[in-house]
Structure 1
Amino acid sequence: MRLGVTMFTTDVAMPVPDLARAAEERGLSSLYVPEHTHIPVSRRTPHPGGLGELPAEYRRTLDPLVALSFAAAATTRLRVGTGILLAAQRDPIVTAKAIATLDHLSGGRVVVGVGFGWNAEEIENHGVRYARRREVARHHVLAMRTLWRDEVAAFDGFEPSWSWPKPVNGAPPVYVGGAAGPKLFAHVAEYADGWMPIGGHGIKAALPALRLACEKAGRPMARVIPFGTRPTREKLEYFAGLGVEEAVATLPSGPADVVLPVLDEYATLIS
């Protein structure tokens, strides 16, 4: 069982290179960072987790791909991932180039966690209707996969084009985040390598439906990475019994004196 971590990286939290080095030194396998391009002040959309006032880190989130470039440069083995990238809010040509460049420079250490987003105002400010965010995200990920894969890439939205560098291993693994359900599993089965359930609750009950969706798509079973979990040794053993190979634990968004003790605690779970 591998254990990675995720943290809201901000301009006032522990610097990303220091965080990445500390995670790698403790034997943790990966570092994932989230994305919010901006947070409209209207707060028209409630947080899906029931938060009232959003924590300050939502307002201060670093760009994930820029942050991960610093994490990759500061380490040699640590996998660096988005958790999650808001694919509907991004230009797929520019994003495919940025991800491929990061993967090339890091030696193939990039993981792309994608999601659909929950903040209607944020999404709509990018010219995407909230009701279409899943459709747009799907289109963008498929476009990026085409750019990563094909020497001359052509897709709905751009003419036959060259786009280099290519990712080291053909394409970085793509995971779709979100709650279990037929719509989400259809996305996973069509264009992703796996599923990132938030927290990890209910995975066992959901696995048959995910397996069925993959069988219908004629592909192998998707991998599962419980994301943002609060790990214990017992929980990690439970995940391993389900065939899970990696889980991602939550770190507080704060300075080093707050983050390092939690990293030390997590390191004891995999020692």
Structure 2
Amino acid sequence: MRLGVTLFTTDRTMAVHELAAAAEERGFVSLFVPEHTHIPVSRKTPPPTGVDTLPDEYARTPDPFVALAAAATVTERIRLGTGVALPAQRDPIVTAKAIATLDRIAGGRFVLGAGYGWNAEEAADHGVPWKRRRAMVREHVLAMRELWTRDEASYEGEFVAFEPCWSWPKPVGPIPVLLGGAPGPTLFAHIAEFGDGWMPIGGAGIREALPALRAACDAAGREMVQIVPFGTLPTPEKLDYYAGLGVGEVVLRLPAGGREEVLPVLDEYARTYAAFM
């Protein structure tokens, strides 16, 4: 098994590039950071964690692609990813170029963790029709794949359309796409169609969901994709359980704090779970 880490990064936490270097030094294989472009003051959408008040960290996240580009310049091996980016809220042509540029800076180490989003007001400010956001994510990722892989790329869909065009740079190699979200037929159909894996938040319910995900992959005529439990608070028993399910990578949650809070936990993880790394 391999272990990665994730931090809910803000302008008040340990800097992404510093954390990336520290995680790589300790043998972690990946670092994932979140995305929120902004948080509307209106709180019509309840917090996703079930708390009464949305923590202010949601309004303070740096741009993940800029932060990860900085991290790429001070690391050599660790994979750098979004956990998760919100493709429906991004122009796919601009985002495809940003990701390709980042991947080249990183030497092919970028991973796109993508999600559908939970904040209806945030999405509305980007013109996202809330009930159609999953279809919008699908088209945006498919359109970006065209731009990443074809010398003359074009796309025609409900939400994205562009005539044959040139767009360089291309990524170093295929961009892995891991989709986050609760298990269900739409998510698993999307993973089977255009994803490379599933990022279940926390990792609960994997065993029960495995047959449905495997069936979706079979229906799409492809092999079973990877499962990467994300934001996990680890115990040896939990990691053994994941290993028994065939999970090859688990992303561990770090506290959203400064160096003095993050580094001791990073050291503890590296020491306690060395057998899993």
Cα distance in structure 2, aligned partners of 1:14 and 1:208: 39
Q: Which runs of 5 or more structure 1 residues have no equivalent in the other structure? A: none
Following TM superposition, by how much is the alpha carbon of 1:72 offset from its aligned partner in structure 2, in angstroms? 1.1
Cα distance in structure 2, aligned partners of 1:52 and 1:270: 37
Query: 1:264 — aligned with what?
Result: 267
Query: 1:150 — aligned with what?
Result: 150
Amino acid at match of 1:108: G
**Identity among equivalent pairs (%):** 65
Cα distance in structure 2, aligned partners of 1:143 and 1:191: 11
TM-score of the superposed pair, with normalisation by structure 2 = 0.96
1:111 aligns with 2:111: yes
SS of 2:3 mapped into structure 1: strand
* Alpha carbons 1:2, 1:270 under 8 Å: kept: no
1:135-174 equivalences under 5 Å are 135-156=135-156, 157-169=161-173, 171-174=174-177
SS of 1:208 mapped into structure 2: helix
Following TM superposition, by how much is the alpha carbon of 1:255 offset from its aligned partner in structure 2, in angstroms? 0.7
1:222 aligns with 2:225: yes
Q: Write out the 4+ residue segments of structure 1 that deviate beyond 6 Å after TM superposition.
A: none
Cα distance in structure 1, aligned partners of 2:96 and 2:24: 26
Amino acid at match of 2:78: L
Following TM superposition, by how much is the alpha carbon of 1:54 offset from its aligned partner in structure 2, in angstroms? 1.4
Following TM superposition, by how much is the alpha carbon of 1:48 offset from its aligned partner in structure 2, in angstroms? 2.5
Following TM superposition, by how much is the alpha carbon of 1:263 offset from its aligned partner in structure 2, in angstroms? 0.3
SS of 2:84 mapped into structure 1: strand
1:31-180 equivalences under 5 Å are 31-156=31-156, 157-169=161-173, 171-180=174-183
Deviates more, 1:112-121 or 1:156-165: 156-165
Encode CA deviations 1:207-236: one digit per residue, 9 max, x unaligned: 111000000011111110000111122211
Encode CA deviations 1:15-57: one digit per residue, 9 max, x unaligned: 2221111111111111100000000011110023202211121
SS of 1:85 mapped into structure 2: coil
Cα distance in structure 2, aligned partners of 1:7 and 1:225: 16
Cα distance in structure 2, aligned partners of 1:264 and 1:174: 29
Encode CA deviations 1:153-173: one digit per residue, 9 max, x unaligned: 11121110111111112x210
TM-score of the superposed pair, with normalisation by structure 1 = 0.98
Amino acid at match of 2:245: L
Following TM superposition, by how much is the alpha carbon of 1:59 offset from its aligned partner in structure 2, in angstroms? 1.2
